[in-house]
Amino acid sequence: MATTEIIPFAETGGANVIDQAAYVALAERLTGFVAGIATSAQLNKVWRQSSFMACGLAGWVVTRDISVPDDGDVPALVTKINNALIDFVTEFLTSIDAVTGVTVTTDGTLGANSDALIPTEKAVKTYVDSQVSPTWDFISSLHAVGGNFSFAHGLAGTPGLFLATAICISADQGYSVDDEIVFDSSPPGSAPSPNGGTWVNATTIGSLSDSTAIKLKNKSSGTEVDGDASKWNVRLKAKL
């Protein structure tokens, strides 16, 4: 059975200590005791403050079945506190996992879509990172701007996220070769974008656009202009 040798000082109700208000107002609480006379009640209050917290922390460590001796070994004490924390957290997570119908999951895709799973912090971060900066499940080859074209995406279902981007192949409106802009990201049911529309279903992703000009903003001025469609290619992207 774990024990502690860190015990409280001046713990009885009638202990010889100054009251809390007097301790708060005590000038020496800020400066420390200097040359002169300090009363026993003042000193007892200081000692009780420190022993009170030390005893409480040691008592908690003991509840994790780890003994705390009064041996002056500070590194060993730090290790004991760390081990107690690890034991506590492990027990806490295990207790969550043991709740009827509830299980901790490390699945960073949150693919189960379940009301009975609790994701870990790492799983949540993995999921959020994937949504903020998605890894596309399908990226098409480049296609000239204009007309109605499509690609079989080969995914197991209808993508939940998709868009078309335009890649500059010859300098236009301040853009350089390989600059990439969003060409069309209109969600289903929204008003058509100036560049036509991008669509998707369970097997295919496609785009419909004008063959002579694309709407974009001049890279320098930000003014909406007609770009030269011959100087851009389109790439379609999708993610389940």
The secondary structure of the chain as a DSSP string is ---B----SS-STT-S---HHHHHH-THHHH---SS---HHHHHHHHHHHHHHHHHHHHHHHHTT--B-SS--HHHHHHHHHHHHHHHHHHHHHHHHHSTT-EEE--TT-TT--SSEEE-HHHHHHHHHHHHS---SEEPPPEESSEEEEEE---SS--SEEEEEEEESS-BTTB-TT-EEEEE-PPTTSPPBTTBEEEE-SSEEEEEE-SSEEEEE-TTT--EEEEEGGGEEEEEEEE-
Does residue 4 surpass a pLDDT of 50? yes
Other C-beta atoms within 10 Å of 80: how many?
20
Report pLDDT for 190. Answer: 45
Residues 99 and 208: their CA atoms lie apart, in Å, by 52
Q: Where are the domains of the chain?
A: 20-98, 103-132, 138-239
Contact assessment for residue 164 and residue 236, using Cβ atoms and an 8 Å cutoff: yes
The CA-CA-CA angle for residues 134, 186, 157, to 5°, reads 55
Query: Which pLDDT belongs to residue 194?
Result: 58
Predicted pLDDT of residue 126? 86
Q: Is 195 exposed, middle or buried (0-12, 13-18, 19+ CB in 10 A)?
A: buried
pLDDT tens string 18-38:
999 999 999 888 988 888 888
Provide the pLDDT for residue 92: 80
The predicted-structure confidence for 150-165, as pLDDT tens digits, reads as follows 999 999 999 888 888 8
Q: CA–CA separation, 62 vs 24, rounded Å?
A: 31
Averaged pLDDT, 77-88: 92
CATH number of 138-239: 2.60.40.10
pLDDT of 52 above 50: yes
Say what the pLDDT of residue 182 is. Answer: 86
pLDDT of residue 149: 87
Q: Which of 131, 109, 102, 105 is nearest to 120 (CA)?
A: 105
Tokens of 49: 């403050």
Q: pLDDT tens across 115-140, in order?
A: 878 888 888 888 887 776 667 889 99
Q: What percent of the chain has pLDDT over 70?
A: 90
Residues 163-219 pLDDT 10s:
888 999 999 999 999 999 988 654 444 444 556 688 899 999 988 876 777 888 899
Residue 46 has pLDDT above 60, yes or no: yes
pLDDT at position 193 is: 57
Q: pLDDT tens across 93-119, in order? A: 777 666 656 678 899 888 888 887 888
CA-based nearest residue to 200, from 134, 130, 150, 146: 150
